[in-house]
């Protein structure tokens, strides 16, 4: 199964579209695999940084670098905590037929034709979902230090909606 996450519980069909953040990409329906699904356990517009080791050989360095015992670290800004607590996010499930891996991002899949979801269910408590999955959810005044650490190449990462983040400190 593949997934799509939305705060809208009533989407009956997903139609291929060109993403506003990637206007040169061909129209597609976007989905995420199970391993990467927690990257979307947030309100859509919530800026966030997620970091994890590429494989088990990098786990010790990851844990040391980010002072954690978790296998993954997700972070949001303090100003978004109330919205994360209050949000209802729905998980849409798709059969993988017709989807192909999008090579530019781990865990992302695309389909060039309309897709109807097999099911839709609310995730429930988003903070609790992180805790249950043993993903550290860090709440911080600024995402910029973690964003900068994420892109240094030592670990896999996802950075979403940084245009909604607080300005970089000192800028």
Q: Of the candidates 40, 41, 63, which has an alpha carbon nearest to the alpha carbon of residue 52?
A: 63
Percent of the chain with pLDDT over 70: 100
Six-digit token string for 21 = 């953040």
Which of helix, strand or coil describes residue 25? coil
Pick left, alpha or beta for residue 139 (phi over 0 → left; psi -120 to 50 → alpha; otherwise beta). beta
pLDDT of residue 105: 83
Q: Is the pTM of this model over 0.85?
A: yes
User: Is the model's pLDDT at 149 over the cut of 90?
Assistant: yes
Q: Tens digit of pLDDT for each residue in 109-119?
A: 999 999 999 99
Rounded distance between C-alpha atoms, residue 12 and residue 35, angstroms: 25
Q: What is the mean pLDDT of residues 39-64?
A: 96
pLDDT of residue 21: 81
What average pLDDT is seen over the chain? 96
Q: Tens digit of pLDDT for each residue in 60-106?
A: 999 999 999 999 999 999 999 999 999 999 999 999 999 999 988 88
pLDDT of residue 28: 96
User: Is the model's pLDDT at 19 over the cut of 90?
Assistant: no
Give the distance, in angstroms, between the CA of residue 57 and the centroid of all CA atoms in the same chain: 23
Q: Of the candidates 82, 102, 118, 122, which has an alpha carbon nearest to the alpha carbon of residue 19?
A: 102
**Beta bridge pairs of residue 90:** 6, 122
**Domain-by-domain residue ranges, the chain?**
2-164
């Amino acid at each position: 199964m593949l997934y799509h996450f939305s705060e809208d519980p009533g989407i009956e069909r997903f139609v291929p579209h060109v993403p506003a953040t990637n206007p040169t990409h061909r129209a597609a329906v976007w989905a995420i695999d199970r391993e990467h699904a927690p990257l979307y356990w947030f309100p859509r517009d919530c800026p966030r940084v997620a970091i994890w080791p590429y494989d088990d050989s990098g786990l010790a360095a990851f844990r040391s670098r980010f002072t954690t015992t978790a296998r993954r670290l997700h972070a949001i800004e303090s100003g978004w905590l109330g919205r994360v607590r209050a949000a209802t996010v729905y998980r849409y499930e798709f059969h993988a037929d017709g989807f192909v891996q999008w090579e530019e991002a781990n865990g992302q899949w695309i389909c060039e034709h309309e897709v109807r979801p097999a099911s839709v269910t609310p995730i429930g408590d988003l903070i609790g979902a992180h805790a249950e999955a043993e993903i550290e959810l860090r709440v911080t005044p600024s995402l910029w230090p973690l964003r900068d650490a994420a892109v240094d190449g030592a670990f896999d990462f996802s950075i979403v909606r940084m245009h909604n983040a607080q300005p970089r400190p000192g800028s």
